[in-house]
Structure 1
Amino acid sequence: MARSLPTKRAAQPKSLGLERSTKKRAVPKASSAKVDGELATSASAAARGSFSLESFEHWLDSQGVRLNRECVRLVSHTSTCGGLGLAVFAEKDIVPSDVLCRIPKAACLSIRTASCAKLIRKKRLGGGLGLVLAVMAERALGDQSKWSGYFASLPDREYLPIFWDDDLKKLLRGTEIEARVADDQALMAADYEQNIAPLLERLGALAPRCRLEDFCKAASLVASRAFGIDDYHGDAMVPVADIFNHKASVVELAPEYKVVGASSSDEEIEVPKGEENEDASSDEDASSDDGSRSFGEDSSDEESSEASTSDDSDHESLTEHERLSSHPASGPGRRMVTDPAAPLPSVLGRSEVNGLHLRLEIGIVDGEAIEEVDVVAASEVARDREVHNTYGELGNAELVAKYGFALVENPFTTVQLCKSTLLQRSKLLSQLRSQRRTFLKDHTDLLDQGEEPLCVLPHGHVNAGLWAVLLTLSAPQAEFQSWKGIEDALRAGSKGGAPKNQPTTCHEGCTAEHSHAHAAADDGAGEFGSIVLRDALPALEGSWSQSLAAILREAVQHRAGKYGATLEKDRAALAACEETFARKGGAAPLSERETAALAARRLRVDEQRILRECLEALGS
């Protein structure tokens, strides 16, 4: 089946660091993470005794959220990882296209439905940053917020690395997110000071509950839960849809489906005609003493409903609302989200990870009505089994950074090699290295820091970009001098081998020329534009193969040295964490620190395992 990856999701505030991600997803994220068959959540309101599943379901009913109780049930219990977890289980044998839940968009918290929607529009805070403000303000309202019942089901914060103490951060040494954590903390503070602090006066009585600490907590919730529901609302917090727990899945949609991303947070939100010049009374409303006028029930109804009136400007605003809201994520009708007849998807030769297949189990689609979001089954789920979501094709570094957990042997984990280090350690004479670097810069964007990373993948694979760079750096001089472009390099690199009859797609960042060449010369190519080293190296002429292997071996060994501990030592430390995980699983939740340590240890082991597999494929 032709593979259809979703379009880019709405960008989050720069403080969350998500604009650096190249991964994409088609479905929303979840409130509690599924880790190898065990629920993994941060300490929540439920764990503090202020939550009951019955009251949460009552709140859902009051907001018009229709959970299909013939198909699914919500479950809450003490998890093995930080508090009381929520999950969704099948009440019957679920089949593809079963509608599991219908959620009115009015019940979703977005920059359009929030009590402070008018302030967000006036200050043009689009996308993720506006939603963080909305979540922070609604949480500050407490029981006065329309979403108080929803917030009661959430943790106070997601215990992400930005909240970890120094001892926990040391566990990230050498990993893909080591430098990112400090960057995110600094950018988060800058986001608050530049964009939110100037608005505190407008928040009135809510201001004392909208400090930097509150902003960071709200940002962690948005980073780990929000997803785009349509072009009008953008990113939103979607009750029930964010309960489905994660499993690794290939994001593979039926051909007629597409995913519509929300607008970027870096873009200013569109102000409907007639609202560009709000009168002074609007400012006074927003800064009322008790916050009730700006953030209470009445103002929420007035500001978020976008109700049509008899005047032309309001009519135009409603028309724009309808236009933007009518961009479905899945097309009309009750069609299949995935193709049930298609073979099980696989990643690098594996179709199952941690006892679970890699097929999507749910899809989030526009409902029959414009103002509704549906959760629809995408594959079969047996009765009494948990129904999973996938947050996207994310490796453990992204999972730890955004959700605070990691999977065992995640098939999407990659380890980047530093581009400058790879060039410096290529063992070529300086003048030849300079010549090869110039060639790569002239014919590709592979050496640009903002473009495709050069990655080592699981099971002795490397990505297409790294393979192209290695071919160029290691080619015999006579061979290299005959090349007119990267296309020639890839063709030459495939001589002597039998092409594999499977499609190959290059990662983002490859030039069109690179992509075309790689599709034409895919010897040794695995899935998703990867190269199987054990197949590809023998296809090269002897000295070329040896030179390439030597360059890659030295670069991988240099990268492995950054962890400060051997794989064996980290495996032993992880085993101790896993023992605690298993021992406490049925009786008491892990603490936040134990949760974080488990995630960090899994990340370290997963990355080092990938590097070890690469060295083994090279014959080291």
Structure 2
Amino acid sequence: MDTTRRLRAFKRWMRAHGVECSDALRLVDDPQDGVSVRTLCDLKEGDVVANIPKKACLTMKTSGAREIIEAAGLDGYLGLSVALMYERSLGEQSPWSGYLQLLPLQEDLPLVWSLHDLDSLLLGTELHKVVKEDKALIYEDWKESILPLTHSSPQIVDPKFFGVEEYIAAKSLIASRSFEIDDYHGFGMVPLADLFNHKTGAEDVHFTSDSSHGESGSEADENNEALEENRSEDEASTQTSSEAEQAFNQVPAENNDDGADEDSYLVVENDHPVLEMIMVKDVLTGAEVFNTYGTLGNAALLHRYGFTETDNPYDIINIDMELVLGWSSSSFSGRYTRARLALWRRLGYTPCESQNSEYFEITSNGEPQTELLVLLYILLLPDNTYNKLDLAVSTACDENGFFHVMSPGNHKITFGQTSSDIENDVFLTEDVRGALISVADKRESLYGTSSLEDDIAALKECCLPRDRRLLHSLTLRVSERRILEKLRRYARLRVDGICEGKRRKKRLNLNASP
């Protein structure tokens, strides 16, 4: 179906199911970039530009597969995946066919990439190991929860539409397009709302279920003709749309297996039955209207939504605990490393954790997590200082639960404080700065033999849409490697800057003396 026909079909579907889209918005369907939303006139903060009935959303509660999902005890993204695959299997018979035909088969997330692409494009990045683990877990979910449905109800759950590839495709759409609707529906596919593209830190429109049911404050009457094209064709389809609406409205009733559940559904619908898209800033005529998925770095954006952003201010890089301990064990014995790690933990410090992995974050400006500095400091303590601290932890702490020890430079160091209470500078000894540089180099080596300059040059040669995967993976690699570069700079310059600051403060104090 060509792009113009797809949009016409979707607009007919919206009218049939009560989805109201402001005449001030124009849907644009680009063969390369997909659908986007632009303005036909100036929009103001507070304008309601869309009203979307909850019953028009594709959820576990509204889908024709509701009984199957509930009987199998599925919920969350797993249950929504079954709902989406089921409605797709119905083709034009699905009440959501006019909406589903506008969606791609799958979003090009790393989740759907081949293992070869993952190994060649994401080597060394935050996502390489994570996505491989995701693929293994998703296959297990499919094998344990989806495959049995095709055996028990093959006439309803057509195996052709519920294979592992179809499940991964559904997961990619849900990961990148679903919204949390309410406690009853959970997450769901929200037609129209999922067409607004993302821009970090530049939200124009906000999705909300706290509906005031108001009308849009900006109706562009002078531009109505632009969105009224082929009205006669749409009017000719009224009968078909009415039939589709009737089938659609029957879905919840057909799937309610008792009166109490139906009452629960009605209570929820009578509470806030309509979702809204509300402008949160002024947008000029002709501009694209952006939603935001939050303040996410490029690793999270590529993982969840399949794209990256140049110069993303929310980029971070993680350094695995395993890598830090590997660096330590290359200089000290394994027993030495384990003992000092145990002391660090006894002092109350913990790393970040995700999927059974421990790591430390490095911010976009190259500043390491305080817990990493403390760990490196303890790993590098002279034996006599380490023994004193170990004894202090074993015997006593002050009234605040903190432990104190004199550093080799005869400075009092306090352990056991939270990150916000600690002055990082006290741990930035010459040895710790050298360790930070070594750890950064070890992390850098994971990217292979190409240099940062090689990646930047390759990125400049990329061209969309041909090199989409390469472009986004290189953008991620470059952003991560630039942070490692800043970490090394932080380690080299931090102490010099501190000393200069102290000298300047001393000079000011002297000048202020009577």
CA shift for structure 1 position 434:
3.5
Q: Does 1:574 align with 2:459?
A: yes
1:420-467 Cα offsets, whole Å, 9 max, x none, are 221332456766543431122222332766476301221222234434
* Candidates 417, 420, 428, aligned match of 1:519: 420
Seen in structure 2, the aligned counterparts of structure 1 residues 430 and 97 have a Cα distance that, compared at 3 Å, is same
* Candidates 61, 69, 78, aligned match of 2:15: 61
Equivalence for 2:65? 116
1:252-311 Cα offsets, whole Å, 9 max, x none, are x99xx999xxxxxxxxxxxxxxxxxxxxxxxxxxxxxxxxxxxx99886555248999xx
Equivalence for 1:338? none
Matched position secondary structure for 2:126: coil
Matched position secondary structure for 1:460: coil
Equivalence for 1:74? 27
Question: What is the rounded CA distance, in whole Å, between the counterparts of 2:455 and 2:58 in structure 1?
Answer: 41
CA shift for structure 1 position 211:
2.3
Task: Work out whether residues 487 and 518 of structure 1, in 8 Å CA contact, stay in contact via their aligned partners in 2.
Answer: no
Q: Which amino acid aligns with 2:126?
A: E
Equivalences for 1:453-602 in 2 at 5 Å? Answer: 453-474=359-380, 478=385, 481=389, 484=397, 488=402, 517-521=418-422, 523=423, 536=424, 539-540=425-426, 544-564=428-448, 565-577=450-462, 580-581=463-464, 590-591=465-466, 594-602=467-475
* Candidates 388, 395, 410, aligned match of 2:297: 395
Equivalences for 1:218-257 in 2 at 5 Å? Answer: 218-249=170-201
Question: What is the rounded CA distance, in whole Å, between the counterparts of 2:431 and 2:334 in structure 1?
Answer: 16
Question: What is the rounded CA distance, in whole Å, between the counterparts of 1:560 and 1:99 in structure 2?
Answer: 48
Question: What is the rounded CA distance, in whole Å, between the counterparts of 2:124 and 2:262 in structure 1?
Answer: 52
Task: Work out whether residues 108 and 236 of structure 1, in 8 Å CA contact, stay in contact via their aligned partners in 2.
Answer: yes
Equivalence for 1:195? 145
1:232-270 Cα offsets, whole Å, 9 max, x none, are 00110001111111111299x99xx999xxxxxxxxxxx
Q: Does 1:407 align with 2:313?
A: no
Matched position secondary structure for 2:105: coil
Q: Which amino acid aligns with 1:455?
A: E
Equivalences for 1:144-293 in 2 at 5 Å? Answer: 144-169=93-118, 170-200=120-150, 201-204=152-155, 207=158, 208-249=160-201
CA shift for structure 1 position 488:
4.5
Question: What is the rounded CA distance, in whole Å, between the counterparts of 2:110 and 2:96 in structure 1?
Answer: 27
Q: Mark the structure with the bigger radius of gyration.
A: 2
Question: What is the rounded CA distance, in whole Å, between the counterparts of 1:467 and 1:414 in structure 2?
Answer: 17
Q: Does 1:385 align with 2:287?
A: yes
* Candidates 17, 40, 53, aligned match of 1:104: 53
CA shift for structure 1 position 390:
1.4
CA shift for structure 1 position 188:
2.2
Equivalences for 1:223-372 in 2 at 5 Å? Answer: 223-249=175-201, 301-305=249-253, 314=259, 316-321=260-265, 370-372=272-274
> Which runs of 5 or more structure 1 residues have no equivalent in the other structure?
1-44, 260-295, 327-368, 497-512, 524-535, 582-589
Task: Work out whether residues 302 and 472 of structure 2, in 8 Å CA contact, stay in contact via their aligned partners in 1.
Answer: yes
Matched position secondary structure for 2:275: strand
CA shift for structure 1 position 550:
1.6
Question: What is the rounded CA distance, in whole Å, between the counterparts of 2:190 and 2:351 in structure 1?
Answer: 38
Question: What is the rounded CA distance, in whole Å, between the counterparts of 2:403 and 2:269 in structure 1?
Answer: 47
Question: What is the rounded CA distance, in whole Å, between the counterparts of 1:391 and 1:404 in structure 2?
Answer: 12
Equivalence for 2:349? 444
> How many residues of Structure 1 are paired with residues of Structure 2 in the alignment?
438
Seen in structure 2, the aligned counterparts of structure 1 residues 372 and 470 have a Cα distance that, compared at 3 Å, is farther
Question: What is the rounded CA distance, in whole Å, between the counterparts of 1:562 and 1:157 in structure 2?
Answer: 30
Matched position secondary structure for 2:277: strand
CA shift for structure 1 position 192:
1.6
Seen in structure 2, the aligned counterparts of structure 1 residues 101 and 203 have a Cα distance that, compared at 3 Å, is farther
Matched position secondary structure for 2:418: helix
Q: Does 1:434 align with 2:320?
A: no
CA shift for structure 1 position 87:
1.1
TM-score by length of 2: 0.75
Q: Which amino acid aligns with 2:7?
A: L
CA shift for structure 1 position 195:
0.7
- RMSD between aligned residues: 3.7
Q: Which amino acid aligns with 2:366?
A: G
Seen in structure 2, the aligned counterparts of structure 1 residues 67 and 464 have a Cα distance that, compared at 3 Å, is farther
Question: What is the rounded CA distance, in whole Å, between the counterparts of 2:85 and 2:484 in structure 1?
Answer: 41
Task: Work out whether residues 468 and 489 of structure 1, in 8 Å CA contact, stay in contact via their aligned partners in 2.
Answer: no
Seen in structure 2, the aligned counterparts of structure 1 residues 611 and 105 have a Cα distance that, compared at 3 Å, is same
Q: Which amino acid aligns with 1:156?
A: L
Equivalence for 2:216? none
Seen in structure 2, the aligned counterparts of structure 1 residues 319 and 520 have a Cα distance that, compared at 3 Å, is farther
CA shift for structure 1 position 570:
0.8
Task: Work out whether residues 60 and 66 of structure 1, in 8 Å CA contact, stay in contact via their aligned partners in 2.
Answer: yes
Q: Which moved more, 1:208-217 or 1:475-484?
A: 475-484
* Candidates 476, 488, 497, aligned match of 1:615: 488
Question: What is the rounded CA distance, in whole Å, between the counterparts of 2:315 and 2:178 in structure 1?
Answer: 22
CA shift for structure 1 position 519:
3.2
1:131-177 Cα offsets, whole Å, 9 max, x none, are 10111111111100111111111111112223324553211111111
CA shift for structure 1 position 205:
5.7
1:462-507 Cα offsets, whole Å, 9 max, x none, are 23443443454445663872664997489999x99xxxxxxxxxxx
Seen in structure 2, the aligned counterparts of structure 1 residues 557 and 318 have a Cα distance that, compared at 3 Å, is same
